[in-house]
Amino acid sequence: MKNAIEIRKLTKDYKDIRAVDGLDLEIREGELFALLGVNGAGKTTTIKMLCCITSPTSGEATLEGKSIASEADEVKKIIAMSPQETAVARNLSVRENLMLMCGIHGFDTATSRQKTAQMIESFNLQKVADKKSSKLSGGWQRRLSIAMALVSDPKILFLDEPTLGLDVIARSELWDIIRDLKKRMTIILTTHYMEEAEELSDRIGVMKDGHLLMVGTAAELKEKTGEDKFENAFIKIVKGGAV
Amino acid sequence: MRRMLSFAGRTLKEMLRDQLTIFFGLGFPLVVLLLLSIIQANIPVDMFELHHLTPGITVFGLAFMSLFSGQLVAHDRGSAFITRLYTTPLKAHEFILGYTLPVLPLCLAQSAICYIVAMILGLKFSANILLAILMNLVPSLFFISVGLLCGSTMSEKQVGGICGALLTNLSAWLSGVWFDISMLGSAINAVANALPFVHAVELERAMVMGDFSAALPHLPWVLGYTVVFMALSVFMFLRQMKRQ
């Protein structure tokens, strides 16, 4: 299977801090790859560089063969991001938010209406479609946020802490949505929830202090650390006790 | 173009659906106009005659547009919404136009409503009023640029302080809308004349009177400030975009 993302020696410095240090990574097409790490590990900076929001200090990354440094406009046409916090226009309804994203991606009105209707149906947003997004619960807002990211049919989707702060039911519903998206596109997921990474991901990368410490499936990481529980394996890797 | 128009449409909806925008943007200048007209009816003062007062009120009202546009930009910057938009094909100039253009019709509508209310109160209609409304596009661009500049460099709360308190007070007290600034002494008079507010008001008054030769000396001041602040706001917006 070909690689959707290829990262070579990607580095980002902020004044005296090296947020990402020489990251090398390949993510396969159609794979759901989870980036794990404690706060300040460099996950968000990595995603910001891959999404062309932040320029790398050195190194290179290509997404579907397009360089984040020299082909940012092309990269932006094939990616979408659902940020960690609520990323919706507060005074616009669910339908208007979806129409807005269609317009921003350059779709004409007829196509925008069609895509919006399709997203409302796929994400079961019918009963809140004309409700102001600021009036929605956290779960509905995250659902809308992911739907907004998908209107452009991205080849690569970045999900930054998609279930942070949600209740068990809302989280389980979002997991179902993410499972449905698997294989249709490449997904890079960041999360603090170990069970989420274990449940949803094909492979997991553990970051600490800007370095990628270990990459593998959840089973491989448990095996390498000699732990039965994935959470213990993660702790062992981060604390430096891994083989 | 379609991308920019979609984003501009969102800016317009966000502003129109904010009740504070409607109240302060439209309601407050009208309240001031009505109150001063009542005072004028009881104690006649030249300054408060409608042909003199209304142009000043329309310029004063534009200061609120700085507040609203600045707060929207600052709010977006502080939220993940802008992060999402930075990952889309929307380009820097489309962001800037999308934040600026939708505020212009609001400014024009605000000026038109002020003149309509003034006409109900007794101001005589003339074609000069239409020209005066159009001329307000120049100070409108100045005030929107101030909003974009503040929104690009400050937090939403700070924008409230600078645009909501400082700018509205400057445009209220150093513009000669409701009193002759020469009464404040030569130093303050000089400061007021070095700022664009008094020139914007005098420009608008001259347009309403159809005295275009009186308008000319004030136009370079307002245009100059507008160009400088537009350049500054674009520069600062691009800088914060890069810093993301």
Question: What ipTM, to 2 d.p.?
Answer: 0.81
CB A43 within 8 A of CB A123: no
- Rounded to a whole number of angstroms, the distance from the CA of A68 to the nearest CA of chain B is 12
Closest in A82, A84, A91 to B18, CB measured: A91
DSSP symbol at A54: S
Cβ contacts of A158 on chain B, cutoff 8 Å: 87
- The answer on pLDDT for A199 being more than 50 is yes
Could you report the per-residue pLDDT of B133-175, keeping only the tens digit for each? 999 999 999 999 999 999 999 988 888 888 878 888 888 888 8
Range in A72-76, B5-9, B45-49, B113-117 the model is least confident about: B45-49
Express as a percent the part of chain A with pLDDT over 90.
Answer: 49
Is B3's CB within 8 Å of A100's CB?
no
Closest CA to A192 of A147, A145, A159, A224: A159
DSSP symbol at B67: H
Could you report the per-residue pLDDT of A122-170, keeping only the tens digit for each? 888 899 999 999 898 888 888 898 889 889 889 999 998 888 777 888 7
Burial of A126 (0-12, 13-18, 19+ CB in 10 A): exposed
DSSP symbol at B123: P
Confidence grade of residue A171 (pLDDT, cut at 50, 70, 90): confident
* B1 interfaces chain A, CB cutoff of 8 Å: no
Q: How much is the pLDDT for A243? A: 47
* A133 interfaces chain B, CB cutoff of 8 Å: no
* Euclidean distance between CA atoms B5 and B225, whole angstroms: 27
A213-222 in b/e burial notation, b at 16+ Cβ within 10 A?
bbbeebeebb
For chain B, how big is the Rg over CA atoms in Å?
18
Is B13's CB within 8 Å of A85's CB?
no
B200 C-beta neighbours (distance < 10 Å), count = 31
Could you report the per-residue pLDDT of A65-114, keeping only the tens digit for each? 999 989 998 999 999 988 877 788 989 999 999 999 999 999 999 999 99
Closest CA to A18 of A70, A60, A56, A61: A56
User: Which two three-digit tokens encode residue A9?
Assistant: 């020696």
User: Which two three-digit tokens encode residue B207?
Assistant: 């347009």
Largest CA distance in chain A: 57
B61, amino acid identity:
G
Kind plus residue range of the DSSP H or E element containing A108: none
Which CATH number describes the domain made up of A3-86+155-239? 3.40.50.300
Confidence grade of residue B227 (pLDDT, cut at 50, 70, 90): very high
How far lies A208's CA from each of A18, A36, A199, A212, in Å? Answer: 12, 9, 22, 7
Cβ contacts of B81 on chain A, cutoff 8 Å: 86-89
* A83 interfaces chain B, CB cutoff of 8 Å: yes
- The answer on pLDDT for B40 being more than 70 is yes
* B17 interfaces chain A, CB cutoff of 8 Å: yes
Largest CA distance in chain B: 60
Which residue of B18, B87, B94 is the best one to mutate when testing the A interface, meaning the one whose CB has the most A CBs within 10 A?
Answer: B87
Average pLDDT, integer, range A223-241: 87
